[in-house]
Chains A and B, each alone.
Chain A
């Protein structure tokens, strides 16, 4: 074997290894890094509750990593509805699960595949997958949430969230936070 062939192959392999290391999805240990990719608010922005009642185009809230996330105003977007039975909670997608005394039945974005709610006290997003196939429904829920918040997938990983499914949808996956599919440690779901 010619020497230039060996060196060329070595360069190609090293290139492949470098591409392997730097072109993929984020590693699991990035979950512990405090919100590295989230859009950061200025230091003067309040980090308290979301100012959802304002008509500001963006809202800010604290993430579990301690950073401040600034996202599109998903509360006052003409789609999200307040969960009047649980003050401070909002439903972004799906039904609130009840009808009001006046006969109206509030609902966030129309879907029966998943339900997404938000608690402004804890800045917590609860995503409930209500139909099979779970993998496909989770993708749709992720797409919905990242679109409404104006976040990339990696930024969404830093949110305070839970993705789950009840036992009556799929008892094999009813016991944990399934995670966003693009986040480290997410559960692989059937599509």
Chain B
């Protein structure tokens, strides 16, 4: 029996060193927040519920390791010191120490086992991942589907042909190129000034459209075909129904940005998302203009003036975030 003691000690040593490392990969120590900040404005769905449960467990384990265990171990040590000859005191200290060590090991091991099993059940194709890391990317939406409320509050008839899934709600950008104040400044003094609520809505829409980038290009349609969408608000050229002042960029600031005199007439320079052969120079002028913040913002404001429901950014079936932006900010 005595010969097994070193082996047991070695196993305990290895296990004690390994468990914290494994636990660390799963988000321990964890000090909050319990509710993910990105979802604190939406109605919780199953994904968020599971995430919150995970975080509560991680927080409890963290508290046990960081606060409770050191105190009990210190108390056990104190009992040892003050009871050098008292067998009952020493036995009590031993008991506390044993329970503490066993408790920590069991808690961490238990969490590790549960996490491993849940990870396999949740997504068997990713055996190396932990449950906690899979929740956010495995497809369980954190927020409830808000299709009905979106359709009602967009201030229009039901949005047909689109799925308002996702349930994402955005905070307005506070820095970068697409802040509402930047958009107000970019359109001030033009024929297409924005109200504060329109600026807020467009600021919100710019996040999913272009990640607030002036230079964002390369958009593709749902079927994978390229589009001419350019700039912060992904203004498209040459599309069906796009032969209007706004899409043509027939706006003074756009001509100025492109370095041309007169109207740009971008509709005729593009077809099928690509420059019309023989009109490459005109197409390049349109792309140049669209990359300019003032031009792009004024073209977007022009579109809002024509269609105040922001329908130019909500027609795509993938545009759930844009629809949420309209819901949140258009009529405020």
Contact = CB atoms under 8 A, between A and B. Distances in A.
Interface stretch (B170-178, B244-252, B263-271, B299-307): B170-178
Contacts of B214: 83, 85-86, 89, 97, 117
Interface in B215-233: 215-221, 229-231
A56 interface: no
List the 5 closest A-B pairs by CB distance, nearest first.
A164-B211, A174-B208, A97-B215, A16-B20, A20-B20
A87 to B, nearest CB: 10
17 contacts: A5-B5, A14-B69, A17-B20, A83-B215, A86-B214, A86-B291, A89-B177, A95-B215, A97-B216, A115-B215, A119-B176, A124-B177, A126-B176, A162-B173, A167-B321, A175-B170, A176-B207
B114 interface: no
Contact of B69 (A17, A164, A174): A17
Given A1-B98, A6-B97, A168 B65 contact: no
A117 B177 CA distance: 11
Given A168-B318, A174-B208, 18 more contacts: A1-B98, A5-B5, A15-B17, A17-B70, A19-B21, A20-B23, A21-B66, A95-B217, A97-B290, A98-B284, A98-B290, A99-B288, A103-B284, A117-B214, A128-B211, A168-B221, A188-B133, A188-B136
B311 interface: no
Interface string A89-122: 1010011111111010000000010010101001
Interface in A1-20: 1-3, 5-10, 12-17, 19-20
Nearest to B13: A12
Contact of A167 (B94, B285, B293, B322): B322
A124 B319 CA distance: 26
Interface residues of B, number: 81
B175 to A, nearest CB: 6
B66 A96 contact: no
A122 B181 CA distance: 13
B136 A85 contact: no
A171 B219 CA distance: 12
A150 B76 CA distance: 49
A58 interface: no
B226 to A, nearest CB: 10
Interface in B194-219: 207-219
B276 to A, nearest CB: 16
B291 A85 contact: yes
A98 B216 CA distance: 10
A40 interface: no
Contact of B177 (A29, A100, A119, A166): A119
Nearest to B73: A10
Contact of B212 (A10, A21, A126): A126
B217 A97 contact: yes
B321 A174 contact: yes
B50 interface: no
Contact of A122 (B21, B175, B316): B175
Contacts of B316: 167-168
B154 interface: no
Interface of B: 5, 8-9, 12-13, 16-17, 19-21, 23-24, 28-29, 31-33, 37-38, 65-66, 69-70, 73, 76, 90, 94, 97-98, 100-101, 104-105, 133, 136-137, 166, 168-170, 173, 175-177, 207-221, 229-231, 234, 257, 259, 284-285, 287-293, 316, 318-322, 324
A168 B220 contact: yes
Contacts of A172: 166
Given A98-B290, A126-B176, A168-B318, A185 B257 contact: no
Contact of A20 (B29, B216, B259): B29
A189 B137 contact: yes
A130 interface: yes
B43 to A, nearest CB: 16
A166 to B, nearest CB: 6
B291 A24 contact: no
Contacts of A6: 94, 97-98, 101
B209 A9 contact: no
A1 to B, nearest CB: 7
Contacts of A164: 207, 211-212
A3 B19 CA distance: 23
Contacts of A190: 137
Contacts of B207: 164, 174-176
A121 B211 CA distance: 19
Contacts of B170: 175-176
Residue picked from B13, B33, B168, B176, most chain A C-beta under 10 Å: B176
